[in-house]
Amino acid sequence: SAVISQKPSRDICQRGTSLTIQCQVDSQVTMMFWYRQQPGQSLTLIATANQGSEATYESGFVIDKFPISRPNLTFSTLTVSNMSPEDSSIYLCSVEGGMTPNTGELFFGEGSRLTVL
Amino acid sequence: EDQVTQSPEALRLQEGESSSLNCSYTVSGLRGLFWYRQDPGKGPEFLFTLYSAGEEKEKERLKATLTKKESFLHITAPKPEDSATYLCAVQAGSNYKLTFGKGTLLTVNP
């Protein structure tokens, strides 16, 4: 299992500003995933972050809007840039739970709830 | 495009009243179907993985089953602590990415 800590847990932001969410894992992991959970919507993968390489973004998400850092095997950040009210959402960090990669068994952080005014 | 549809959106049960949640999916080459539980203000918690039609998994009062088109999460004699949102997700083809449904909000009244 893995323990994942996210900061901040919640924040209220002004339109046009940017916010960086931090994700710390208690063990070394190869891949870290960033998800978005909008009200009434499915959990959606934003990007996959591998240490030492550029993040891989899913369709509809771009690096300029959601820059990601992955400086080591236990830490990652997601920045939500130039925020608008449509960015109000819960952002979740996750890692794989098993020893075998790509199993789909994920551990999630508790999420960062952003409200953009 | 992979699609996952969960029903009902919300379900209210009395304690001890058994029921089932449904997850129907449309994918090309299912690799696995996953059930997660999410409590308010928390991230999802992994429950089960099902890989092939006919497979069943159990955990306490929960049993997950899988057919070629859908999965059911059966809840037997639920307790109030089973109240949560239950999420279904699929992994298909060569893509490791999970596609999630919108979830079923289960409320169990004492």
pLDDT at A99: 62
Note whether B46 contacts A: Cβ–Cβ < 8 A.
yes
User: Which residue is it, tokens 């939500």?
Assistant: A80
pLDDT at residue B28 greater than cutoff 90: no
Residue B10 CB: number of other CB atoms within 10 A?
11
DSSP state of A65: T
Strand pairing category for B56-59 and B62-66:
antiparallel
Q: Counting every residue, how long is chain A?
A: 117
**pLDDT (tens digit per residue) in B82-98:** 999 999 999 988 777 89
DSSP state of B44: -
Answer for the pair B108, B16: CB distance below 8 angstroms, yes or no: no
Beta strands in chain B (DSSP E): 3-7, 10-14, 19-26, 30-38, 45-50, 56-59, 62-66, 70-75, 84-92, 99-100, 104-109
Taking 70 as the pLDDT cut, the residues of chain A under it are 98-102
pLDDT at B1: 82
Measure the CA–CA gap between A45 and A80, rounded to whole angstroms.
14
Would the CB atoms of A104 and B44 count as touching at under 8 Å? no
**Phi, psi values for residue A55, rounded to 5°:** -65, 150
pLDDT at A104: 79
pLDDT at A96: 86
**pLDDT (tens digit per residue) in B37-76:** 999 999 999 999 999 999 999 999 999 999 999 999 999 9
Pick the more confident residue, B8 or A96: B8
CA end-to-end span of chain B: 41
Q: A87 in helix, strand or coil?
A: helix
Share of chain B above pLDDT 70, in %: 100
**Nearest chain A Cα distance for residue B78, angstroms:** 24
A43: chain B residues, CB-CB within 8 Å: 44, 87, 89, 98, 100
- The interface residues of chain B toward chain A in range 3-42, judged by CB-CB distance below 8 A, are 4, 31-32, 34, 41-42
pLDDT at A98: 62
Would the CB atoms of B49 and A111 count as touching at under 8 Å? no
Q: Which of A97, A102, A109 sits opposite B46 (nearest CB)?
A: A97
Note whether B45 contacts A: Cβ–Cβ < 8 A.
yes
User: Which residue is it, tokens 């928390």?
Assistant: B42
Answer for the pair B11, B104: CB distance below 8 angstroms, yes or no: yes
pLDDT at residue B24 greater than cutoff 80: yes
Share of chain B above pLDDT 90, in %: 90
Nearest CA in chain B to A5: B43
**Residue A80, Cα to own-chain centre: how many angstroms?**
10
